[in-house]
Chain A
């Protein structure tokens, strides 16, 4: 078990380092930060001086090594754009993204499971067919369009919900939360729906398929034959067996909700890390881009690592195999 864990952790670190290297090799294609940092009156001498100061004249491997050297000491440098420490900015922006991801994750999970069960049980009903057709829209419409349509309907036409920002937030010292104020909660609704809609339709379709599969199984047929109530069959026997793959998918999707919050955050001017990243790309703010990409890859690699460990813990066959040395 220990050897397996060490091996997996080691592999994860390698993956992280490679991701970082690829990221750094891409940065010079994003553009030249010096152009944004100096005004239009700058001279050639200014450009060269700054480029040298920032180490941009070095090749990307050297730049990457410097970044790593600083990063292991917890120093991610100063943002070229804001002139403030990158670590501070990330800590400041992360709560907004995590709260948004959490709420949209919940919407996706609860809505997806409920609708999935409904469409599986009433698979020939009109409502179920409408939902299935509607879910195609959810899967195929781009996020920014959904966001704009929601803003148009609920902010501009009806005036119920705010079109941008996070509303009033409460500062807990180490975390800013929008959960404690009315305006904060109202501001969450539209972006959370926008971000969660795709995941919700995905989960719904998955639950439906799994459920239909399970409902055809022999033990369900026998349960019916024994005269057990429909309700009990659907929710106790069938649903339980449906949920295993759903939970695996949801865990993996949580990572992508955070990573794909970029578009939703841009549409709603949501002050999270996604918006920060977009701004950084436009400005070629290399320290922020590097730190963000590292953060996202740590998150993905971490989730995968945990999932792997869980499989190992759950699935006895894996352990037997290893011991057998096949």
Chain B
């Protein structure tokens, strides 16, 4: 009780101090799953964590690197296996403790433990050394030129706080015990947690001791975050003025929101590309009507299928203009993306039919398409449109749309021959795509490659990317891998998703490609 009174008093004092107390009421479809910053590697969870905790480096609202708890970073001179990070001085946690190098060592090691969901991004790290209070060296198992991009969602926790509250370990769901960090926070971030009821309401208040005061707008002094799952209700809440800012505006309501006085919709391409995967590796496939052969193993069939899909029609009809037709499975901000490859797809039914005939499938065949129905924007509708388009070249598609919890295991367990998948690239580098989607499926890499594609030369090139320090050589390798992927038509790209945020015209912010608003950048009129 005493604590609440103190907290309330502190809150009152803080709102009295700031000249313009602006509350921002924010809604999106999902809630953060946990407050433990290393337990889940998932969008809404990271978005909330970014207000409270901070990593060494963040991406700003355009997706570019920006110094956060590290002021600068560079590979160590004379040792390409080591990255040196100089830390920001004078940073304090919400409980007043100082942020130092030992917290970085602690946090990275914590995120590398078995129960952490962040560990796969840190596999190259061998050791983390605190050289002095404000210098940290990260040792990798070989040169790792893109290490900084793996650290942009890696939040720093206070070692002393974690030890005092017995929350050194990341929560293990089956362990049975709930850990302190699941429901409590102590970060260095611009906002402090005031109260939280999971799935109902989370309240954050500005941290007046934040190191970035004066550097960032920080005009939002209080954030009230309410997840609203139902899209129509979410839009209604914005229209009726009950919330100020929503993510995930359904495409059919964009016009309605934009035409309402006092509301605006802002749009930007998202870091996510939607495509179809094809099982080209098996000798025969189960979900088709061709006996003893796999039509998808023939590159001409794959090319014909890609040509038969009219991406502009999908954009106009299914997505109501809210998509950007794609020719490769990398979003435009990713290193390795080229306008030429991305514009390479065109619809040509006659050429597609000719290719089918060449491949010996002039009469077509029938196949099952597996599609999620609650994961991507209008995912099932895109698949339905595809069914009609492929029918034009004689391919009869049986659509099987399921919730994501049933769809994704099909891909990871090799139970689908033709499937929809979307992919975002948090590291902004093609290596991430190759590791998961192109490399032969194995223990370390290729976990999302459901195509059965396996090419030892390509695998070797992919593995070389991890330690190639000469950027020109590295980029040339990336280009050769893409050439191979494009020539094989391993995947059929559909489009890049477009993000829409709806807000009152008082809110000043542009859409970030990661769909993660960081409220310290927001201005309020």
| B23 → chain A closest CB, angstroms | 15
A35 to B41, CA, bound (A): 12
Residues of B within 8 A of A148 (CB): 232-233, 236
Contact assessment for A82 and B198 in the assembled complex, using a CB-CB cutoff below 8 Å: yes
A323 to B144, CA, bound (A): 86
A304 located at the interface, meaning its Cβ lies under 8 Å from any Cβ of chain B in the complex: no
Residues of A within 8 A of B33 (CB): 81-83
Residues of B within 8 A of A39 (CB): 40-42, 117-118, 120
Residues of A within 8 A of B100 (CB): none
A268 to B228, CA, bound (A): 8
Residues of A within 8 A of B236 (CB): 148, 151-152, 155-156, 163-164
B405 located at the interface, meaning its Cβ lies under 8 Å from any Cβ of chain A in the complex: yes
**In the complex, which residues 77-119 of chain B have their Cβ closer than 8 Å to any Cβ of chain A?**
114, 117-118
**In the complex, which residues 217-268 of chain B have their Cβ closer than 8 Å to any Cβ of chain A?**
226-230, 232-234, 236-237, 239-242
Contact assessment for B444 and A47 in the assembled complex, using a CB-CB cutoff below 8 Å: no
Residues of A within 8 A of B41 (CB): 38-41
- Stretch of B172-180, B389-397, B450-458, B507-515 lying at the A interface: B172-180
A33 to B408, CA, bound (A): 11
Residues of A within 8 A of B171 (CB): 83
| B257 → chain A closest CB, angstroms | 11
Which range contains the number of A residues in contact with the other chain? Answer: 35 or more
Residues of A within 8 A of B229 (CB): 266, 269, 275, 278-279
Residues of A within 8 A of B184 (CB): none
| A48 → chain B closest CB, angstroms | 11
Contact assessment for A44 and B173 in the assembled complex, using a CB-CB cutoff below 8 Å: no
**In the complex, which residues 197-231 of chain B have their Cβ closer than 8 Å to any Cβ of chain A?**
197-201, 226-230
**Chain A residue at minimal CB-CB distance from B43:** A39
A279 to B178, CA, bound (A): 20
A32 located at the interface, meaning its Cβ lies under 8 Å from any Cβ of chain B in the complex: yes
A40-B199 CB under 8 A given contacts A78-B173, A156-B236, A165-B226: no
Q: Which of B36, B198, B199, B242 contacts A163 (CB 8 A)?
A: B242
Residues of A within 8 A of B176 (CB): 75, 77-78
**Chain A residue at minimal CB-CB distance from B182:** A83
Contact assessment for A84 and B198 in the assembled complex, using a CB-CB cutoff below 8 Å: yes
A30 located at the interface, meaning its Cβ lies under 8 Å from any Cβ of chain B in the complex: yes
Residues of B within 8 A of A164 (CB): 226, 228, 233-234, 236-237, 242
Contact assessment for A271 and B173 in the assembled complex, using a CB-CB cutoff below 8 Å: no
Which range contains the number of B residues in contact with the other chain? Answer: 35 or more
B480 located at the interface, meaning its Cβ lies under 8 Å from any Cβ of chain A in the complex: no
A282 located at the interface, meaning its Cβ lies under 8 Å from any Cβ of chain B in the complex: yes
**In the complex, which residues 10-55 of chain A have their Cβ closer than 8 Å to any Cβ of chain B?**
29-33, 35-47, 49, 53-55
Write the A253-268 contact mask toward B (1 if CB under 8 angstroms, else 0).
0000000000000111
Contact assessment for A44 and B237 in the assembled complex, using a CB-CB cutoff below 8 Å: no
Contact assessment for B232 and A276 in the assembled complex, using a CB-CB cutoff below 8 Å: no
Contact assessment for A31 and B228 in the assembled complex, using a CB-CB cutoff below 8 Å: no
A99 located at the interface, meaning its Cβ lies under 8 Å from any Cβ of chain B in the complex: no
| B359 → chain A closest CB, angstroms | 33
| A156 → chain B closest CB, angstroms | 5
**Chain B residue at minimal CB-CB distance from A75:** B176
Write the A150-185 contact mask toward B (1 if CB under 8 angstroms, else 0).
011001100100111110000000000000000000
Contact assessment for A165 and B405 in the assembled complex, using a CB-CB cutoff below 8 Å: no
A284 located at the interface, meaning its Cβ lies under 8 Å from any Cβ of chain B in the complex: yes
| A75 → chain B closest CB, angstroms | 8
Residues of A within 8 A of B234 (CB): 164
| A36 → chain B closest CB, angstroms | 6
Residues of A within 8 A of B412 (CB): 35, 44, 47
**Chain B residue at minimal CB-CB distance from A30:** B405
Contact assessment for A269 and B405 in the assembled complex, using a CB-CB cutoff below 8 Å: no
Residues of B within 8 A of A266 (CB): 229-230
Q: Which of A32, A80, A267 contacts B173 (CB 8 A)?
A: A80
A165 to B201, CA, bound (A): 9
10 A-B contacts, Cβ less than 8 Å apart?
A30-B405, A36-B405, A43-B120, A43-B447, A47-B412, A53-B174, A80-B173, A267-B230, A269-B233, A279-B229
Residues of chain B touching chain A, judged by Cβ–Cβ distance below 8 Å, are 33-34, 36, 39-42, 114, 117-118, 120-121, 171-174, 176, 178-179, 182-183, 197-201, 226-230, 232-234, 236-237, 239-242, 374, 403-406, 408-409, 412, 436, 443-444, 447-448
A-B complex: 4 closest residue pairs judged by Cβ atoms: A31-B405, A39-B41, A41-B120, A31-B406
